[in-house]
Amino acid sequence: MARLARAGHSSSRPKAVAVVNRLAEMFPGATTELHYRNAFELLVATILSAQSTDARVNSVTPTLFARFPDAGALASADGAELESLIRPTGFFRAKSRSLQGMAAQLVERFGGEVPGTLDALVSLPGVGRKTANVVLGHAFGVPGLPVDRHVLRVATRIGLASGRTPEAVEAQLCRALPARLWTLASDCLILHGRRVCRPKPLCAKCPIQSACAYYSTATAMSRTTISRPRRSAHRR
Ligand code: SF4
């Protein structure tokens, strides 16, 4: 527990950096798996990725971006057509409202361009910190650490963070890592969470066992169970 209580403290920096570097070796070239060509497309794709998969988003965005290539076109899109195009990503009515609200705000307040600051991004409809950090880190090269369900699960298992909310984990990871590693850390933790440290983790295949709090606790517990003498069922 003491290990978790210190998560995010500056003393955990070397461990956090070592874990991210090891994961970066595992996943060379780690980046978002969403397909995009500019900040507008990445913003749209990231909004669509909520409660969906990157593959499903990537299956609809080529047609979507061909039909609505910029904020002006998306803001004036026919709602029924937009819903139909994004339907495979789920929650299509709410996402359609977010996309059109976001696009209208881009036109009205930002000259049709995606702004490059966290405060401006999170002021847009449908854009939270996770989406804003994805866009900042990948489209603008501004350090950002998006925390999705994979980052939340993997970072807390390893012991890099102990928070229960994405905001808390983001703050702890940002304290534990230099800003130049924030975006890479998020990308690597997401890939590790999808491929190895799944909800049911594949620890036997994991190269960062020795740095993982969950693994060391699980190993210690199984040793205790094995070494504990069995009680006699017929004790009198
Ligand atoms: S050892 Fe297991 S729990 Fe720890 S990071 Fe690897 S897969 Fe996840």
pLDDT at site 200: 97
Q: Which residues have CB under 8 Å from 112's CB, separation 6+?
A: 70, 71, 72, 106
**Residue % of the chain over a pLDDT of 70:** 90
Our answer on whether the CB atom of 160 is closer than 6 Å to any ligand 1 atom is no
Q: What is the pLDDT of residue 233?
A: 44
Percent of the chain with pLDDT over 90: 86
- The total of other beta-carbon atoms located within 10 Å of residue 17's CB is 15
The question of whether 148 is a catalytic residue gets the answer yes
Q: Which two tokens stand for residue 60?
A: 């609809």
Is residue 203 within 6 Å of ligand 1 at its C-beta? yes
114 within 8 A of 135, measured Cβ to Cβ: yes
Q: Is 95 designated active site?
A: no
**Domain regions of the chain by residue span:** 2-29+145-211, 39-140
For domain 2-29+145-211, give the CATH number.
1.10.1670.10
pLDDT tens digits along 87-133: 999 999 999 999 999 999 999 999 999 999 999 999 999 999 999 99
Distance, CA 217 to ligand 1 centroid (Å)?
Answer: 11
140-185 pLDDT, tens digit per residue, is 999 999 999 999 999 999 999 999 999 999 999 999 999 999 999 9
pTM: 0.88
Pull the structure tokens for residue 115.
């702004």
Q: For residue 189, how many other CB atoms are within 10 A of its CB?
A: 30
Q: Which CATH superfamily is domain 39-140 in?
A: Hypothetical protein; domain 2 (1.10.340.30)
- What integer is the mean pLDDT of 59-81? 98
Catalytic residue among 148, 187, 200, 205: 148
